[in-house]
């Protein structure tokens, strides 16, 4: 009897963990914005578009050139492998894992593509 009770308890806890993991999903997204250097070695993407979730259907689609700036700002992390200094103050498209947070969400960067040699004028 105790073994059956223990097996049921393990099964229920496994289902609870699985349900929790599915609600804490981290999306891979594409965001276009102006690459800025913050204090020290910190980098941000400012005037950024809303994140677009990358799916199998749109993964190969190149990022659209943003004619107008967005209003979002993201802190960039996992940037050691990318030469961001050569793209400073340029319009870039960033792919990465979106980590929603307050006051600023973060992007764990997986790729960076230069879109233009300068940033668009900020929205009014």
pLDDT value, residue 4 = 59
1 domain residue, yes or no: no
pTM for this prediction: 0.73
> Which are the contacts of 72, defined by CB distance < 8 A and separation ≥ 6?
31, 33, 45, 47, 48, 49, 50, 51, 105
pLDDT value, residue 16 = 46
CATH of the domain at 32: 2.40.50
65 domain residue, yes or no: yes
pLDDT digits (tens, 9 = 90+) for 54-109: 888 876 776 666 555 788 999 999 999 999 999 999 999 999 999 999 888 999 99
Asked if 94 and 107 count as a contact pair (C-beta separation under 8 A), the reply is yes
Question: 104: domain range?
Answer: 26-116
pLDDT value, residue 25 = 77
Overall number of domains in the chain: 1
121 domain residue, yes or no: no
Q: What are phi and psi of 13, to 5 degrees?
A: -65, -35
12 domain residue, yes or no: no
73 domain residue, yes or no: yes
pLDDT value, residue 5 = 53
């Amino acid at each position: 009897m105790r073994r059956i009770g223990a097996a049921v308890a393990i099964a229920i806890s496994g289902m609870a963990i699985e349900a929790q993991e599915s609600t804490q999903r981290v999306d891979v997204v594409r965001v276009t914005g102006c690459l800025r250097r913050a204090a020290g070695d910190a980098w941000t993407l400012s005037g950024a578009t809303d994140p677009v979730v990358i799916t199998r259907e749109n993964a190969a689609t190149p990022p659209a050139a943003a004619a107008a700036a967005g209003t979002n700002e993201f802190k960039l992390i996992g940037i050691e492998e990318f030469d961001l200094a050569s793209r400073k103050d340029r319009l870039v498209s960033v792919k990465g894992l979106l980590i929603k947070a307050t006051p600023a969400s973060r992007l764990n960067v997986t790729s960076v593509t230069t879109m233009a040699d300068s940033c668009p004028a900020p929205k009014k």
